[in-house]
Amino acid sequence: MSSHTLPYTVESHPVTGLYSGKFGTWLFLASEVMLFGALFSSYVLLRVGAPADGPGAWLSHEEAHLDWKIGGFNTLVLIISSVTMVMAWASLKMGNLKKGKTYLAVTMALALLFVVIKLTFEYLPHIQHGLVPSHSTFFALYYTMTGLHALHIIGGVVVIAYFIGPGSALWAKNPEYYTNRIECTGLYWHFVDLVWIFLFPVLYLL
């Protein structure tokens, strides 16, 4: 890349206790908290401000037709994927690239499973029944929030795929650096799961 090397790409900074990539990831997640925080706040404001009845009123559970069992299963899928993500990192820490990559592949498969379930058992049937974003404020929020979350999942899949594939070349040169990158990916991944853990009760149960 360039001739000079920047410090703290691998080793931790004495004051922050983090290497630069991890620090940057935490900051990025702080901004993500603000992004989803704004959406959750909007949810609260719109729900509280909705007319009591008549057009524009908040949808009841029955009207929304959201199945908590599907949502719950997907929650489980994501929680397991978080565990396999940790396993991937732990394997790399112990110097086992092959095992690490396997766990990464499992994580990716679970992420894809989540997206496929979301599409085939939720989005498509809903759209067929006319429960599209313009149906009501609830569905506007539902599609925006879960859609944005699904984009985050897909973003994660792309990153993981990169680290299984071309990104893993770094292992040969600097295994610790590669392991750190997986740790950062893991932080992001746990955050995305956490968002879902908030989304699930807010949209399916409350």
Partner 1 sequence: MSAEHDSELSFFRRYVFSLDHKVIGVQYTVTALCFLFFGFCLMMLMRWQLAYPGEPLPIIGSLFGEAAMPGGVMLPEFYNSLGAMHGTIMVFLGVVPILVGGFGNYVMPLQIGAADMAFPKLNMMSYWVYAAGGVVMLTGFFVPGGAANSGWTSYPPLSDIATTGQTVWLFGMVLLITSSLLGSVNFIVTIAHLRAKGLTMFRLPFFVWAQLVTAFLLLLAFPPLEAAGVMQLMDRLAGTSFFLPTGLVVSGEVQQVSGGGSPILWQHLFWFLAHPEVYVLILPAMGIVAEVIANNTRKPLWGYRAMVYSTIFLGFMSFIVWAHHMFMTGMGTTISAFFATTTMIISIPSVVILTALLISLYQASIRFTVPMLFALAFLPMFAIGGLTGLPLGLPASDIHLHDTYYVIGHFHYVVAPGTIFAIFAGVYYWFPKVTGRMMNSALGKAHFWGSFIFMNVVFMPMFWIGLAGVSRRLYDQTAYTHGEAVQDLTITSSWGAWMLGVAQIPFIINFFVSARAGKKVAENPWDSTTLEWSAPSPPPHGNFATEPVVYRGPYEYSVPDRSQDFFPQFTPSEG
Taking the complex as a whole, the smallest distance from the CB of residue 11 to partner 1 amounts, in Å, to 11
CA quadruple 159, 201, 203, 77: dihedral sign? positive
d(CA 58, CA 52): 7
Tokens of residue 31, six digits: 């901004």
One-letter amino acid identity for 126? H
Is residue 96 involved in binding partner 1 (CB under 8 A)?
no
Taking the complex as a whole, the smallest distance from the CB of residue 99 to partner 1 amounts, in Å, to 29
Q: Would you give the distance in Å from CA 51 to the centre of its chain?
A: 33
Contacts of residue 4, Cβ cutoff 8 Å, sequence gap at least 6: none
Vertex 39: Cα angle to 81 and 18 (nearest 5): 55
Q: Which of 75, 82, 84, 137 binds partner 1 (CB under 8 A)?
A: 137
Q: Which of 70, 80, 144, 177 binds partner 1 (CB under 8 A)?
A: 144
Number of residues forming the site for partner 1 (CB under 8 A): 48
Query: Please, which residue, 42 or 102, has the CB nearer to partner 1?
Result: 42
Q: What is the CA radius of gyration of the chain?
A: 20
Is residue 4 involved in binding partner 1 (CB under 8 A)?
yes
Q: Which of 80, 105, 113, 148 binds partner 1 (CB under 8 A)?
A: 148
Taking the complex as a whole, the smallest distance from the CB of residue 63 to partner 1 amounts, in Å, to 12
Closest-CA residue to 50 (of 155, 138, 129) = 138
Q: Which of 10, 17, 57, 63 binds partner 1 (CB under 8 A)?
A: 57
Residues that bind partner 1 (CB under 8 A): 1-4, 6-8, 13, 15-16, 20-21, 23-24, 27-28, 30-32, 34-39, 42, 45-46, 49-51, 54-58, 132-137, 139-141, 143-144, 148
